[in-house]
Structure 1
Amino acid sequence: MRLNLQTDYALRTLMMLATRGGQISVDEIANAYGISRHHLMKVAGKLAELGYVVARRGRGGGLTLARPAAEINIGSVVRSIEAFDVFVECFDPKTNSCAVAGACGLQGALSLALGDFLNRLDGYSLADLVPNRQLFAARLARDIAVKRPSRAM
């Protein structure tokens, strides 16, 4: 199983916001993780639309958490961004063309496994994903320093 890139970026964005506190620009987040600003802009818009972040546009704008990290449930975040209804073809009654649909146990087994996965994530808040905020921030800062070439002559 693999989460889509939007979910990955959303979780990383939320973790950075929980760690740093206050407002952070999309550029800062993209640079910190070495990811596409363009894709991150879409993710930021989705997170704002879903009510996880507050986005301020323009000069001096950026993202802030819409509520405390301890109140943001990771299972809910993942459910709101991922498309689990099409996890495999037979999950979608509109496009299912599997010849053995209804005669095999795969759909049931995958449904249970997916439910277990999401139920496990329901046990975590955003605060749980960054238990050591200082270490998390230090690692991000170290990686940023490594990615940026020195301007010293």
Structure 2
Amino acid sequence: MIFIQLTNYTDYALRTLLYVGSLSPDDRAQVKDIAGAYQLSLNHLQKIVYDLGKQGLLNTTRGKNGGVSLAVKPEDINIGELVRSLEDFGIVECFTNKDNCLISCSCKLKSVLFQAKSAFIAVLDQYTLAHLLENKNELYMLFKEGQTK
């Protein structure tokens, strides 16, 4: 069975946005708290937060009262666009390097995999972060529980 799998980087980026999006608009999250809630490497998560900040999705503030907050409204963060910006969808080598495959010029598999990838992204394009935060109060409570464990 062929399936598309997101990288851990994209998974953690989505989780970070869920965490930050579950906060009230005036609150900021500490990266160490997000890492603790998900049991992730702080160093790895800092890179993700930095990247999300560069993309304009998170505000990052250093210092005593610093932290991260959403830079845009959840309804303006399209999940499909985000995943496309973080993932390399070269599912098979011929998507990126046609010269390395003997059958590339007449292979039908490439078009089938391209259709599958397109369908996967088309579903993600239907959702925004706001859709994923419809139960944000419940998520917030779960994140707080995760920090105390």
TM-score (norm 1): 0.88
Aligned to 2:45: 40
C-alpha contact (below 8 Å) 2:36/2:146 kept by paired residues:
no
Instruction: Count the aligned residue pairs.
Output: 144
Per-residue CA deviations over 1:118-153 (Å, capped at 9, x if unaligned) read: 1111110101112111111122222333x3xxxxxx
| CA distance in structure 2 between the partners assigned to 1:31 and 1:88 by the alignment | 35
The residue identity in structure 1 corresponding to 2:115 is L
Per-residue CA deviations over 1:27-49 (Å, capped at 9, x if unaligned) read: 11101111111110110111011
**Alignment gaps of 5+ in structure 1:** 148-153
> Are 1:9 and 2:16 matched, yes or no?
no
Q: Quick one: which of 78, 81, 85 aligns to 1:76?
A: 81
Match runs of 1:4-153 below 5 Å: 4-21=7-24, 22-84=27-89, 86-93=90-97, 96-145=99-148, 147=149
**Alignment gaps of 5+ in structure 2:** none
| CA distance in structure 1 between the partners assigned to 2:11 and 2:33 by the alignment | 17
| CA distance in structure 2 between the partners assigned to 1:32 and 1:138 by the alignment | 11
**Greater Cα offset, 36-45 or 16-25:** 16-25
RMSD: 1.4
1:102 match: secondary structure? helix
Structure 1 residue 60: Cα displacement? 2.4
Structure 1 residue 56: Cα displacement? 1.2
The residue identity in structure 2 corresponding to 1:69 is P
1:44 match: secondary structure? helix
Structure 1 residue 5: Cα displacement? 1.2
1:59 match: secondary structure? coil
Q: Structure 1: which 4+ aligned runs deviate by more than 3 Å?
A: none
| CA distance in structure 2 between the partners assigned to 1:100 and 1:45 by the alignment | 41
